[in-house]
Amino acid sequence: MWLSLLHLFTPYGLTKHTVQITANYLFIKPKSICSCYTVSSFTPLLKGNLVTMLTVEHVSKNFGSFQAINNVSFEIKQGDIVGFLGKNGAGKTTLMRIVTSFLAASSGRVFIDGEDITKNSLNTRQKIGYLPETPPLYNNMTISQYLKFAAEIKNVSAKKQKTQIAKVLEECNLEHVKHKNISTLSKGYKQRVGIAQAIIHEPKLLILDEPTSGLDPIQIQQVLALINNQREQRTVLLSTHTLTEIEQIAQRILMIKSGEIIIDESLKTLLKSEQETNQTSPITLERIFTDRHTLSSPSRNIAVENNGEHV
């Protein structure tokens, strides 16, 4: 059975190929050429016949004597939307910044699409779109001006800039306001502009830190719909404190507590297993989160980074 895998590494480059996996062999057929490789040759990229987009291996991060991240490991496959949950100070933002190469890990390794981020940081950053909790916007620019600026600094070629800007304006429903100054926009529109800049260079991995923070219910649904539409194009790692939002769009849950992963499971399996354990009342993600965080744990001071954000 033939199937299509995007950006599979072969001697022909990072391109689209037709692939057949049979027993322990993988056949690649770009155009008229057919080659055969053992599946083990692709272990950084293939897991259960699916591409592994993000791999975090035994990552720890210390700020002086404070350990913000402790031996964290997980994998995320291509096309997944993963909810990343934890209290303030649990380590979410720190880990996201390590994955984006903004911070260096104290130990451990991170792979994006099979590439070690420490080996070729500039190349791997091109595969990442990042929206921090406060979008990096310039209020004196119009939306169109800002997206052109974002395209330039993210190395979108001059030939493709016009097409990419038009694409993200449509995708984020910003076409009708593209000539407005960012300073005049509502917070909901500013979040959309933030997502637009994060995807303008066609990243494979999209990392969103509290993308619905401070939005009204209608704006939240609009942003969630936009995030859900990314599923066919890229992998999404999404952090939020609003657990009902995660239940709407995420396939899998990562929960971090005191710098350690305490849950790594599909949302469906997690809810089912918890319901089987406790059949007296309906189980929600919010209840699971509360239960996990009311369990006793060692005391932990919340570290604050230079910009005032919790780690």
Q: How far is CA 25 from CA 8, 37, 39, in A?
A: 15, 6, 5
Summarised one tens digit per residue, pLDDT across range 144-162 is 999 999 999 999 999 999 9
Q: Are 17 and 30 in contact (CB under 8 A)?
A: yes
| Spatial separation of the C-alpha atoms in residues 25 and 204, rounded to whole Å | 26
CA 295 centroid distance within chain: 28
Going by their DSSP bridges, the two strands 205-209 and 128-131 should be labelled as: parallel
Structure pTM? 0.77
Contact 66, 58 (CB under 8 A): no
Tokens in use for 300? 């932990």
Band (51; pLDDT cuts 50, 70, 90):
confident
Three-state DSSP state, 53:
strand
Q: What is the end-to-end Cα distance of the chain in Å, rounded?
A: 46
Give the range with max mean pLDDT: 8-22, 33-47, 142-156, 222-236.
142-156
The C-alpha atoms of residue 108 and residue 180 are separated, in whole angstroms, by 44
Instruction: Provide the pLDDT confidence category of residue 231 given band limits of 50, 70 and 90.
Output: confident
The yes-or-no verdict on residue 293 having pLDDT over 90 is: no
Q: For 303, which DSSP code?
A: P
**Residue 295 or 129, more confident:** 129
